[in-house]
C-alpha cells in the first residue's frame, strides 16, 4: 500500500472540467515513487482480423492532444494501429491504489516529433531500432546480434537516421477514466468523455 502521503486529492463529486491537469498530477505523483518505469502503460490494439492484443509501452509525452509512445510501425501493434486507428491504454500505479484508462483515436506523431525523439535516444538504441524487425520471428540470439553488427557497419561514423517504419503514435483522450481504490471495494471512479466541441462530459461511475 501507499507509503507516502498523496499530495493531490481529486474531488470525485466535483471534478475539474479538464482531465489533463488531473492526469498530470497523478502522473507526477507516480514519478516520485521509488519504482522504475512509472511511465509504463499497457496498450491494447486490435489486429486486422479483430483479435485484441496488449503489451507494455512507455509514455514519452502527453498534453491535451493525447498520449505519445514510440515503436516500430510494422510490429504487431503497429500493423493493428495502421488498420484500426484506435487504442486503449491502462496505467496501474499499485502503490498509489490508482488506475487510469484511456481510449481514443490514434494518429502518427509528426516526422519532426518522431525524429526529435529518435535523435535523443542512445546510439545503440538507434541501431537496434533498425536491426530488430519487431514482432517477426528471428532464428537465434546470434542472428539478432549479426543484424546489429550489419547496421553498425552500415552507419559507421555517421549519424543514424530514424528508420522510416519507426515513429510515434498519439492516442487521443476521447475518454479518460480515473480510479482511486478505497476500502472494501467501494472505489471512486470518474470518466471524462470528450464531446464534438472539445469539452468533456464527466460522470461518476459505480466501482
Ligand atoms: C517496461 C517496458 C517498456 C516497454 N516500452 C516499449 C516501448 O516504448 N515501445 C515498444 O515498441 N516496445 C516497448 N516494450 C516492448 C513491448 O512490450 C513489446 O514486447 C514490443 O513492442 C512488441 O509488441 P507487439 O509485438 O505487440 O507489437 C516495452 C516493454 C516493457 C516490459
Ligand 1 geometric centre to CA of 55 (Å): 6
Backbone torsion region of residue 88, taken as left when φ is above 0, otherwise alpha when ψ lies between -120 and 50, otherwise beta: beta
pLDDT on residue 7? 77
CA-nearest residue for atom 6, ligand 1, is 57
Residue 2: its pLDDT value, please?
A: 47
- Give the residue whose CA is nearest to atom 3 of ligand 1: 57
Nearest CA to ligand 1 atom 19: 55
Q: What is the pLDDT of residue 5?
A: 58
Say how far apart CA 22 and CA 38 lie, in whole Å.
16
Per-residue pLDDT of the chain (207 residues; tens, 9 = 90+): 445 556 788 999 999 999 999 999 999 999 999 999 999 999 999 998 999 999 999 999 999 999 999 999 999 999 999 999 999 999 999 999 999 999 999 999 999 999 999 999 999 999 999 999 999 999 999 999 999 999 999 999 999 999 999 999 999 999 999 999 999 889 999 999 999 999 999 999 999
Measured in Å, residue 144 CA sits from the centre of ligand 1 at 17
From the list 12, 64, 90, the residue with the least C-alpha distance to 174 is 64
**How much distance in Å is there from the Cα of 70 to the middle of ligand 1?**
9
Q: Is 149 in the pocket of ligand 1 (CB under 6 A)?
A: no
Q: Residue 8: its pLDDT value, please?
A: 87
Ligand 1 centroid vs 178 CA: distance in angstroms?
A: 24
User: Which residue's CA lies nearest to atom 11 of ligand 1?
Assistant: 71
- Residue 52 in grid coordinates: 485484441
Calpha distance 7→33 (Å, rounded): 13
Q: How far apart are CA 149 and CA 164, in angstroms?
A: 20
Residues forming the active site: 185
| Cell numbers representing residue 115 in the block | 525524429
Domains located in the chain, CATH noted: 19-121+163-205 (2.30.110.10)
DSSP H or E stretch at residue 130: helix 123-131
**Is ligand 1 within 6 A of the CB of residue 125?**
no
Amino acid at each position: 500500500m501507499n507509503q507516502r502521503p498523496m499530495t493531490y486529492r481529486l474531488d470525485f463529486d466535483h471534478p475539474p472540467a479538464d482531465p489533463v491537469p488531473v492526469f498530470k498530477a497523478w502522473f507526477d505523483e507516480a514519478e516520485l515513487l521509488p519504482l522504475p518505469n512509472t511511465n509504463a502503460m499497457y496498450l491494447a490494439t486490435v489486429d486486422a482480423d479483430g483479435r485484441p492484443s496488449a503489451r507494455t509501452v512507455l509514455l514519452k509525452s502527453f498534453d491535451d492532444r493525447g498520449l505519445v509512445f514510440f515503436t516500430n510501425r510494422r510490429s504487431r501493434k503497429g500493423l493493428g494501429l495502421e488498420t484500426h486507428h484506435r487504442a486503449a491504454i491502462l496505467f496501474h500505479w499499485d502503490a498509489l491504489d490508482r488506475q487510469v484508462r484511456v481510449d481514443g483515436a490514434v494518429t502518427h506523431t509528426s516526422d519532426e516529433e518522431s525524429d526529435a525523439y529518435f535523435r535523443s535516444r542512445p546510439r545503440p538504441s538507434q541501431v537496434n531500432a533498425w536491426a530488430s524487425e519487431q514482432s517477426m520471428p528471428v532464428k537465434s540470439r546470434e542472428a539478432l546480434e549479426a543484424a546489429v553488427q550489419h547496421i553498425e557497419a552500415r552507419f559507421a561514423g555517421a549519424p543514424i537516421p530514424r528508420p522510416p517504419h519507426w515513429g510515434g503514435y498519439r492516442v487521443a483522450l476521447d475518454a479518460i477514466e480515473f480510479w482511486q481504490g478505497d476500502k472494501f471495494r467501494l472505489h471512486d471512479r470518474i470518466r471524462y468523455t470528450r464531446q464534438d466541441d472539445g469539452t468533456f462530459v464527466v460522470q461518476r461511475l459505480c466501482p
